[in-house]
């Protein structure tokens, strides 16, 4: 078996189907474990650099107060010193938790490290990522990573014994957890109901070459012209456009019928029957034109949640 065939087989094993709340079946790909590890390392590097810059800035701006605080550690710390200590604690807390929470709750569902590695966090039920899910998966990182690492670091080197073995087992169980399930879920993902997927393309794909309503402006079956307003087209974004494009390319009648009914329900149209492809081609063409027009003015809509 060639290397290319091996890579293809591994990619196929990571392919899944995500069912959205609207009942649409969307093909997705589970992120590779190496990509997730690379994203985590990059994020920790970014956090460390940001903390270093903040600390150096505080040292430069508040150097005198910090010096007095250090000199008085054995005595009563004054009010300014207490404020500086609290400030350092808050900065560390925000850097550790705020970064992941703010980035993953954004429209891309990804930190800078994940974006660079081409992955993102998604809800396994197909819905939008909730604050509860993001908080849960990031708080679990303490139990999975930070607490066992701290335990191993502070344990006396000469007294490893049972305590050292317990710390190592604790660390390995959580670190190897993604290798014991097909979706590469860490414990935080299991608790939060999330998984990490390969991110969809951020650029619009090459336009679908259509022969029906999108190309001719009206249905070749009924002669009806489908025109959609901005409010109706605004319900979806680039991700949904690409999903619709894939379905039009596959041309599975059952899938097209389900998507047609879903879109009609979302925009308040009577779904009817018999002209589904013409309707979808018109919607695809007009949605694409709207998204491309918005891009020229610096406005992007990544998905229906944006």
Q: Are strands 119-123 and 15-19 parallel, antiparallel or unpaired?
A: unpaired
The pLDDT-based confidence of 42 (bands split at 50, 70, 90) is: very high
Task: With a cut of 80, say whether residue 282 has pLDDT above it.
Answer: yes
Q: What is the pLDDT of residues 187-244, one digit of tens each?
A: 889 999 998 988 755 454 555 544 455 555 556 555 677 888 888 888 888 878 888 8
Q: Supply the pTM of this predicted model.
A: 0.60
More confident residue, 30 or 127: 30
Average pLDDT for the chain: 76
Provide the pLDDT for residue 6. 47
Beta bridge mates, 195: 122
Provide the pLDDT for residue 251. 72
**Residues 174-185: what's their mean pLDDT?**
86
Do 242 and 201 contact (CB within 8 A), yes or no?
Answer: yes
More confident residue, 119 or 270: 119
Task: With a cut of 70, say whether residue 287 has pLDDT above it.
Answer: yes
Percentage of the chain modeled with pLDDT above 90: 8
SS3 197: strand
SS3 278: helix
The pLDDT-based confidence of 163 (bands split at 50, 70, 90) is: low
DSSP string spanning 39-83?
A: HHHHHHHHHHHHHHHHHHHHHHHSHHHHHHHHHTTTS---HHHHH
Q: What is the pLDDT of residues 113-155, one digit of tens each?
A: 998 998 989 888 877 788 899 999 988 888 887 777 776 666 5
Do 187 and 177 contact (CB within 8 A), yes or no?
Answer: yes
Q: Tell me, rounded to whole angstroms, the distance of Cα 259 from its chain centroid.
A: 24
3-state secondary structure 102-147: HHHCCCCCCCHHHHHHCEEEEECCCCCCCHHHHHHHHHHHHHHHHH
């Amino acid at each position: 078996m060639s290397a290319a065939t091996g890579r293809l087989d591994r990619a196929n094993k990571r392919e899944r189907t995500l069912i959205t709340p609207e009942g649409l079946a969307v093909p997705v790909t589970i992120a590779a474990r190496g990509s997730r590890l690379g994203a985590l390392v990059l994020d920790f590097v970014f956090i460390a650099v940001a903390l270093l810059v903040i600390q150096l800035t505080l040292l430069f701006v508040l150097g005198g107060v910090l010096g007095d605080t250090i000199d008085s550690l054995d005595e009563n710390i004054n009010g300014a010193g207490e404020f500086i200590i609290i400030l350092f604690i808050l900065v560390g807390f925000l850097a550790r938790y705020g970064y992941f929470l703010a980035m993953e709750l954004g429209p891309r569902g990804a930190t800078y490290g994940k974006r660079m590695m081409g992955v993102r966090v998604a809800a396994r039920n197909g819905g939008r990522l909730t604050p509860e899910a993001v908080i849960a998966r990031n708080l679990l990182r303490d139990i999975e990573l930070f607490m066992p690492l701290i335990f191993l670091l502070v344990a006396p080197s000469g007294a490893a014994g049972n305590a050292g073995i317990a710390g190592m087992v604790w660390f390995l169980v959580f670190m190897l957890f993604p290798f014991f399930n097909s979706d590469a879920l860490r414990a935080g993902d299991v608790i939060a109901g999330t998984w990490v997927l390969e991110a969809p393309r951020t650029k619009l794909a090459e336009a679908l070459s259509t022969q029906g309503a999108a190309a001719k402006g009206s249905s070749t079956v009924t002669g009806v012209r489908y025109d959609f307003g901005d409010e109706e087209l605004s319900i979806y974004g680039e991700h949904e456009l690409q999903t619709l494009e894939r379905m039009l390319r596959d041309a599975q009648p059952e899938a097209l019928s389900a998507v047609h009914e879903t879109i009609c329900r979302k925009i308040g149209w009577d779904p009817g029957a018999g002209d589904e492809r013409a309707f979808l081609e018109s919607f695809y063409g007009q949605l694409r034109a709207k998204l491309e027009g918005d891009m020229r003015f610096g406005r992007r809509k990544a998905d229906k949640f944006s």
